[in-house]
Structure 1
């Protein structure tokens, strides 16, 4: 690592030069840093806005899942079988599915070796369980905080290796020239009062971009409030995105942002709604279900069918609950709660009775020795940690109901990468959730595996192909100067704005409401078209935000890149709907000619079914010279079937040409 200075407009800005810069401090980023150092790369550094502020460190569920190849039990498994499970979700490239399957055990055992306490039995078998879209028992977990414990163990490795970390640095721009990245510009939030506003320039041969999902895009969101995401920086620089139509949405608590999946649903809590004052309590689901047994079973199934899925609406399926919660909260303006203190009263139906549950729910509770008591008593029996987790955040499930909503949770799409996770912008590697390697449906927990495998592949590519610096500081200087000048102009314009301009909070609320209302789990073409034009107009107003102090600079600049990003998402959704795409994944496409959900929900709630041909395609999105996005369908690549002969593989590995593919 070298240090230089750059003089622009009478200001002296610090420059840090490294071979590889890793942006972000989640599980994928930290693993990439650890692996690079393991491969002998010493000239690297991590830059992050908050070392423990990412999604990996701050999210989980009742039993957060890690998905890998099955290595215990009598059922046979193979990388090709796992690849099929990933590929069959639709709109995922087959070679990436196979890579994620082949790398899953190396990623998993690396985590186990550095201290992540994945459970095994007395024989040493890492036993598993089934998760959603999983044909075998490939899932494992260390409890509610699996990804947090991954971060903690990986961070210990990074610190042990003495890899430099630049904390409290917000990356605000990428330095890209001729489809090649040369570095980034960041704001050191501890130096905002300086003449150069805390700007720091990082020169890098390679940039690993592990900035997480677009947490700041939605108003109703389970992403941690401190995590915004930064995909807009790469989109603005010309990075290609894929499958931005595909995100996951599901029920989550709102006071403390947390997914209410798994055991929270399997204990069958009451669902109640109130007016905004917390009065007029109603078991609002009762009028839509034919019996308490059917309702209780749907709630139970919501546990491991947690993400909203249009295929699970018919026949009083579990995802009907998400639609009804949305109607209650958004259309009727009421508040919805899960109440663990008593069983379903069955107002208008028969009282709750275990024997009325369908066999799947009854058998699960029976095997769990939980056919007794109230939901909170069953939860204490089956998963006491789930109660403790909320208690740690000031919510006592024993004495109060839990307010919930249907929230944005995970982005299956993201930035496009090749077989080594390299972007169309050379030497830029999007890894973790910002990488769009997933398809429409994915087994629960596969995102954690994907992040670890992507980090490994990135580290291998850099260590074997991009390990040397080829750009001198003198050559870098004019590239940096142009981008820094643009950012200084923008910053100074923001600081000059009067208090009469739109506040940064109002500016953010505008695009968040737009995304929640038109681009979340309920979508309609005419509304998306209107939203897209409004999005482009809002981008033009990004420099007009009003700041009360320099401390709000990072927030205003984050708002700008999020506004740029939300236009890309809306463009992709518009293209998909205009092509005739229907309901799939985790969203419902409303159509007057579509299928009726229920008679009680009325004619407004008809939806278009999925069109299978779109599963054989991926949707790529990239920004044009005019600042507007274009989206285009491309056929997905199949799972590779060629024979891998050891002698030829050994030769390409010895020669290093395997890393050039």
Structure 2
């Protein structure tokens, strides 16, 4: 089809849209999640300090019920492992409640000429702090991961030859991205739950793990259970239960509550704190993703992809109500401003280097500074961008070639942003409409937010942690390196969900049934009850609200996209002081039902200190600016420039090549945080395994 260069009026464009029926839009946005019936209360109990404590038993326990955790659950159950899921809130985590314009799943491409796994892996680990072997596993495993999801019913779009439709996302040189709309990960959770229910998986909803229990087996510490709080349990005042397990999979997502300015759903605490407390090592905590999104006070959502590729008017509003075209202070021409607004679509995460040369992260810095100045920032889809210079009106005929070509290829050369959005992604409009904002009638407020933790629990290529019997998958696992293609985290969770299931099954094939020491269980429960009693009986101590406010403010103000050595160091000292105060004074909570918040915010205080410990160490040792943050200093060698704004205070230190070659590992030992460097292996060596040579060993491993 020949694409006209002429724009059309809104009325004409409305007629030419390939209108998607409302019932189809609803299937991809307003769909129902499966009804889940939790298992019956356990009939087995123990008596500890006069309290009745229910005991649940399983071979493998999965903490968390997002896309990664449920993939592990399904794969474990298929392999005959007795698996139990414990979830704080079904369909309430990031997988079910987060996304973007067309939330991305990044896998090896199956369209046109296919893909090259070596190149895919090299792209994944090119940002640094990631082993090539991990990247290669994610590349090869993506084929099985996506095939399994399709088999379970995930409605990924494909052409009539069966090739999945693809597009380019951030840090993606090959166009490996695909999507089934803004709710891709929620649809993944839906089909995985339906499969789990079909398989008869046991599920314990409203249940949060608060402490990992370990025992020594043959001279090594090993998981033997988890202490949890179950909101539906009434046989003791806290709802405390003990879950005995041979293996544990931490799939609790990222620490979404760590930042005040966050696009995570509320109450996403993650599992890094419970891991630290158990002596489990974390890595790459300096690496996160920050980007534009709608505020947490409303409907938190990432504003990547078509939300900005349609080039809406961007403006801020001060206390006097005046609308300000603030981007004209940063970009030199209208063409430069709107083309880089467009590029935020596939360069969504902030990156220090893209602040230079008037590129797309200068947009991020401008939004960040407007919010710091107390002004609210909006996207207006009903009007085109205002000019930077007088007489330089916005025109679809005056765009950078890549921007113009994208709109032509998608037949989206319409007069208004809302019509361009309706043409390219009607689901993006539908999503906000179902959450109370109709972007076809009103502007959309947005800000700079924390969105994803690229670091997390240190795992090997089978998902194993340094604690025997403990695994991690999804955002809880620190596999993502410094930068990564958008949507690769969803793929990593699926790939490692299967790999931990294989690893657990193979381990079971090689050892006899374990016996557990009842005294270890009783001691662990006694200690947890003692802490819970202290939180509810003390008249002194911190409130969880005080800790939450302090942690979130400190992380957003001093560990966001703009950092400096003095501020990070001061923030670390304040975080240490908070932890010491928590350990000395404890918490005070109003009722036994609130004791879970005390455990969670103790863990979040630990995670905050761990992140700041890593960041302070990184900066003090010459670490420079990269994907997550700009490390600002008068000694910096690079400085962003703006059309009419002095940005000299944002002069920053460049990333050092040596820092790409290691992971920073953090652990909590003997009352303090320890940090070390772990070299990464980027050697792209993949040996071909011949069939007859590899077949026998495979059969033996699989049993």
The one of 573, 593, 612 equivalent to 2:657 is: 612
Matched-pair contact (CA < 8 Å) for 2:237–2:593? no
- Counterpart in 1 of 2:481? 439
Matched-pair contact (CA < 8 Å) for 1:287–1:348? no
- Distance verdict in 2 for CA 1:466–1:48, change over 3 Å: same
Alignment of 1:254-403 (within 5 A): 254=295, 255-275=298-318, 277=319, 279-330=321-372, 332-346=373-387, 348-349=389-390, 350-403=392-445
Matched-pair contact (CA < 8 Å) for 1:205–1:466? no
C-alpha distance in 2 between matches for 1:513 and 1:290: 34
- Counterpart in 2 of 1:114? 152
Q: Are residues 1:50 and 2:89 paired?
A: yes
- Distance verdict in 2 for CA 1:366–1:72, change over 3 Å: closer
Alignment of 1:122-521 (within 5 A): 122-178=160-216, 179-191=221-233, 194-254=235-295, 255-275=298-318, 277=319, 279-330=321-372, 332-346=373-387, 348-349=389-390, 350-466=392-508, 470-473=513-516, 475=517, 477-498=518-539, 502-521=542-561
C-alpha distance in 2 between matches for 1:648 and 1:62: 47
The secondary structure found in structure 1 opposite 2:172 is: coil
For residues 518-548 of structure 1, the C-alpha deviation after alignment (integer angstroms, 9 at most, x for no partner) is 2222121111111112112212333543322
- Counterpart in 1 of 2:106? 67
C-alpha distance in 2 between matches for 1:345 and 1:643: 57
Deviation at 1:501, TM superposition (A): 5.0
C-alpha distance in 1 between matches for 2:455 and 2:353: 20
Normalising to structure 2: TM-score of the pair?
0.89
The secondary structure found in structure 2 opposite 1:356 is: coil
The secondary structure found in structure 1 opposite 2:246 is: strand
- Distance verdict in 2 for CA 1:278–1:203, change over 3 Å: farther
C-alpha distance in 2 between matches for 1:449 and 1:228: 22
Deviation at 1:208, TM superposition (A): 0.9
The secondary structure found in structure 1 opposite 2:210 is: strand
Q: Are residues 1:654 and 2:695 paired?
A: no
C-alpha distance in 2 between matches for 1:226 and 1:560: 14
Matched-pair contact (CA < 8 Å) for 2:258–2:269? yes
Deviation at 1:53, TM superposition (A): 1.1
Matched-pair contact (CA < 8 Å) for 1:206–1:466? no
C-alpha distance in 2 between matches for 1:23 and 1:115: 24
The secondary structure found in structure 2 opposite 1:580 is: coil
Higher mean C-alpha displacement, 459-468 vs 86-95: 459-468
Matched-pair contact (CA < 8 Å) for 2:331–2:358? yes
The secondary structure found in structure 2 opposite 1:553 is: helix
Deviation at 1:480, TM superposition (A): 2.1
Matched-pair contact (CA < 8 Å) for 2:333–2:388? no
Deviation at 1:136, TM superposition (A): 1.8
- Distance verdict in 2 for CA 1:541–1:596, change over 3 Å: same
- Distance verdict in 2 for CA 1:525–1:598, change over 3 Å: same
Higher mean C-alpha displacement, 207-216 vs 625-634: 625-634
Deviation at 1:483, TM superposition (A): 2.2
C-alpha distance in 1 between matches for 2:479 and 2:558: 24
- Counterpart in 1 of 2:571? 531
C-alpha distance in 2 between matches for 1:38 and 1:119: 27
The secondary structure found in structure 1 opposite 2:379 is: strand
C-alpha distance in 2 between matches for 1:190 and 1:280: 51
C-alpha distance in 2 between matches for 1:88 and 1:162: 41
The secondary structure found in structure 2 opposite 1:200 is: strand
- Distance verdict in 2 for CA 1:643–1:365, change over 3 Å: closer
Matched-pair contact (CA < 8 Å) for 2:226–2:242? yes
Deviation at 1:366, TM superposition (A): 2.4
C-alpha distance in 2 between matches for 1:68 and 1:601: 42
The secondary structure found in structure 2 opposite 1:388 is: helix
C-alpha distance in 1 between matches for 2:43 and 2:75: 25
- Counterpart in 1 of 2:16? none
Q: Are residues 1:549 and 2:591 paired?
A: yes
The secondary structure found in structure 2 opposite 1:453 is: helix
C-alpha distance in 2 between matches for 1:639 and 1:417: 20
Matched-pair contact (CA < 8 Å) for 2:334–2:388? no
Matched-pair contact (CA < 8 Å) for 2:168–2:346? no
The secondary structure found in structure 2 opposite 1:251 is: strand
C-alpha distance in 2 between matches for 1:214 and 1:452: 20
Matched-pair contact (CA < 8 Å) for 1:12–1:196? no
Deviation at 1:224, TM superposition (A): 0.8
Deviation at 1:278, TM superposition (A): 6.9
Higher mean C-alpha displacement, 277-286 vs 637-646: 637-646
C-alpha distance in 1 between matches for 2:536 and 2:48: 18
C-alpha distance in 1 between matches for 2:342 and 2:260: 27
- Counterpart in 2 of 1:10? 50
C-alpha distance in 1 between matches for 2:109 and 2:688: 23
Structure 2 residue ranges without an equivalent (≥5): 1-38
C-alpha distance in 2 between matches for 1:645 and 1:95: 19
Higher mean C-alpha displacement, 176-185 vs 136-145: 176-185
- Distance verdict in 2 for CA 1:327–1:72, change over 3 Å: same
Deviation at 1:439, TM superposition (A): 1.1
C-alpha distance in 1 between matches for 2:320 and 2:428: 25
Higher mean C-alpha displacement, 277-286 vs 638-647: 638-647
C-alpha distance in 2 between matches for 1:632 and 1:291: 45
- Counterpart in 1 of 2:611? 569
For residues 382-416 of structure 1, the C-alpha deviation after alignment (integer angstroms, 9 at most, x for no partner) is 21111110010011212322111111111111101
Normalising to structure 1: TM-score of the pair?
0.95
For residues 173-224 of structure 1, the C-alpha deviation after alignment (integer angstroms, 9 at most, x for no partner) is 1112343111101111123x65341100001000011000111111100111
Deviation at 1:264, TM superposition (A): 0.4
Deviation at 1:482, TM superposition (A): 2.5
Higher mean C-alpha displacement, 123-132 vs 446-455: 123-132
Matched-pair contact (CA < 8 Å) for 2:335–2:400? yes
Q: Are residues 1:644 and 2:644 paired?
A: no
The secondary structure found in structure 2 opposite 1:655 is: helix
